[in-house]
Each structure stands twice: as structure tokens, then as C-alpha cells.
Amino acid sequence: MKVDGTPYRTIWLGSDGTTVQAIDQTLLPHRFVIRDFRTVEDAEKAIRTMIVRGAPLIGAAAAYGMALAMAADPSDPNLTRAYDALLAARPTAVNLRWALDDLRALLAPMPQARRREAAYRRAAEICDEDAEICRRIGENGLAEIKRLKPRGERINALTHCNAGWLATVDWGTALSPIYQAHNAGIPIHVWVDETRPRNQGASLTAWELAKHGVPHTVIADNAGGHLMQRGQVDFCIVGTDRTTRRGDVCNKIGTYLKALAAHDNGVPFYVGLPYPSIDWTIEDGASIPIEERHAHEVSRLSGRTDRGEVVTIDVLPEGSPAANPAFDVTPARLVTALITERGVCAASEAGLISLYPERAKAA
């Protein structure tokens, strides 16, 4: 997607052929800064501290992390060390494990002298594939949007967190259909949940929609139910960090509440996802590990003052404890449909298997 007229992906290989570069998402929307990752430790830290975030981008960054590790030392012990360190960086998004398993399966049987080049090549392929998958999610989601408003009337979407191009390599998952609808001339407007505690909606989704010229309005997380009761939301669409075999969806904390409100108000609730976000080994969302993040994300806020300084402030009374579960699980029964790169299906094992028949359990 474009930033002030220049096309960007979220992550790419630098011109020296070794350094990896990425947009620093901790500084948006106030500063647009590109970071260099020169070591696997840089990549691990970038994932852990959310310089890069969003399930598909975490997978892509981990793949490049393995390449950086192989550039430094392609030995078996270093392969294992890099795999373990990157896997521990963030626990919920299954794309991380998917990418690391992919790289390890490719590299482990290979002579050490070939590992560096093979790892960089595969990381680049994963990025290209992610961009193409997300483009196709957008096409399939656009067909759903056209089904909801066949005469091309104004349509209001609501989204939570950031599942746009910043969360992927390009296009996004939940936002890809929105970009495609906007590009096709459909008058689409997006209600953007601010998404406390880290405000990925207010700081990232609003930023990228604004850069692409998509009409949007940021709302407090608590406003969505009210807007749905008033008929001001035609559909909800979110991303997912891990979808179980039965179609339970784990996404940013607060997603479940939006799904409940959507269900109560008869508002369709869609989830956009690429196949690496499906965890075929888990049936029930209750077994997904939920990341607990630092209490400071709840107790502090950062933003720009009128003088243009970016500052962080405390918002809690001194001594009040804060808890920070980062994700929740929306049960499949609250999801209208899953929108994937292969098409749209019911949020159920049968629905997913209809699109991914190779995953059917042997009879």
C-alpha cells in the first residue's frame, strides 16, 4: 500500500541483501520510522516489543529472523536456538509457529553451507505469498460486501484492532475487502474501535485508512453495541491470531464483546484469515494460549501534546493493579462466516474442511 504516494510493504530485505527492514509500528501514527534488523536478536525483540505485530507479519518477521540467524551461524545448535527464541517472542498468533516450522523443515536436512541463501529465499517467498493471500481475501470479502448491498448503497463496517496492511505484509486480512470495496467505488465507511489498551485501532487502523483515503470514524471501544442497536453498522469484520479446527476465533481482547453485540443485533460478523492462522491441532478455543502483557499498557497512555511532543502519562491511581490479557476467544457460533484466500465458509470444522479438504481427518 502507499504511504504519501510511495508504495511500501511492512517488511522487506535491505539493499545489502542481509539486513531486514520494517516499519516501526510502536511510533505510528506520529512518526514514520524504518528499523533495521541485523541479527536474530533484533528480529526477536521487534516481535516481542511489537515494533512488528499482527499475526501474518509476526510470521514473516520470524522467517527473516531465521534467515538472520543462518547468516550469522548456520549450525544445528544455532538453528534450534533461533527457533526457540523466536517462538517464545509472542505466544498467541499461530502464524509464528507456522513460519518457524516451515523454515526449520526446509533448513534442518540441508547442508549448512546452503542454509543462509535458502532461508532468505523462503522468507521472501513467505512475504510474497502473504501479500497474494491477503489480496485474495479482499476479493472474496468484496463479494460478501456486494451481497450485503447489491445496489452499491453506502455501507458501514466496524472493525477491531488492526488487521490491515500493517498487520500483514500487504493489503491486510479484515481490511483487504474494505480497501477493495473502496477501490471499486463502493461508498464504504469504517467504524474503527480504538482498541485499548494499545490502541491499535486508533493509532494504526485509522492511520492506514486515512493514508488510503477510506472514510472512517474512530470510536471508543464501548460505543460499538450502541451503534449496532441504532442500525449504524451493516457488518463487523476482524482478523484472527489463531482459528481452531472448529472455527473458534482468537483475536485482540474485546473482539468477543463485539461478536456478542453483533449477534444480539443481527449484524453479520465476519473474520478474515489466511491459512497460516488456522491451528488444525486445536479444536476448542479454550486451549489457545492467551498472551498476558505488561500492566503498563493499561496503566499508561501515550500521545502527542499540542506542542508536538510525544509523551507517556499514567492514568491509574498510584498503587492500583492492572491486568492485561491481550486476546480473547470468540466461539464459532457467533461468527457469520470465515473469509479466506480460498473462499468464504461457515465457522465450523465442516466449513473449513470444505475449503481445505487436505486437512480432513482420515476416516
User: Which residues lie near ligand MRU (CB under 6 A)?
Assistant: 53-56, 93, 161, 163, 167-168, 173, 200, 238-241, 251-252, 326
Decide: residue 78, CB within 10 A, 0-12 exposed, 13-18 middle, 19+ buried: middle
Decide: residue 232, CB within 10 A, 0-12 exposed, 13-18 middle, 19+ buried: middle
What's the residue count for the chain? 363
Cβ atoms of residues 193 and 201 within 8 Å: yes
Check residue 325 and report its DSSP letter. Answer: B
Nearer to ligand MRU, 241 or 341 (CB): 241
In angstroms, the CA 232 to CA 156 distance is: 7
Rounded to 10 degrees, what is the CA torsion of 215, 219, 222, 226? -50
AA letter at 23 = I
Residue 241 annotated to the active site: yes
Exposed e or buried b for every residue in 242-254, given b needs 16+ CB within 10 A? bbbbbbbbbbbbb
| Cα–chain center distance at 50 | 12
CB of 195 to ligand MRU, least distance (A): 8
CB of 189 to ligand MRU, least distance (A): 20
Beta strand extents in 116-267 (DSSP E only) = 155-159, 188-193, 216-219, 235-238, 242-244, 249-252
CB of 113 to ligand MRU, least distance (A): 36
Nearer to ligand MRU, 245 or 252 (CB): 252
**Catalytic option among 170, 241, 248, 279:** 241
Nearer to ligand MRU, 245 or 258 (CB): 258
Q: Which residue is nearest to ligand MRU (CB)?
A: 239
Beta strand extents in 275-342 (DSSP E only) = 278-279, 300-304, 310-314, 327-330, 337-340
Nearer to ligand MRU, 116 or 160 (CB): 160
Nearer to ligand MRU, 195 or 299 (CB): 195
Cβ atoms of residues 158 and 190 within 8 Å: yes
CB of 152 to ligand MRU, least distance (A): 27
Nearer to ligand MRU, 53 or 258 (CB): 53
CB of 238 to ligand MRU, least distance (A): 6
CB of 163 to ligand MRU, least distance (A): 4
> Residue 190 forms beta bridges with which residues?
157, 216
Check residue 292 and report its DSSP letter. Answer: B
* CA nearest to 352, candidates 256, 287, 273: 273
Enzyme catalytic residues: 241
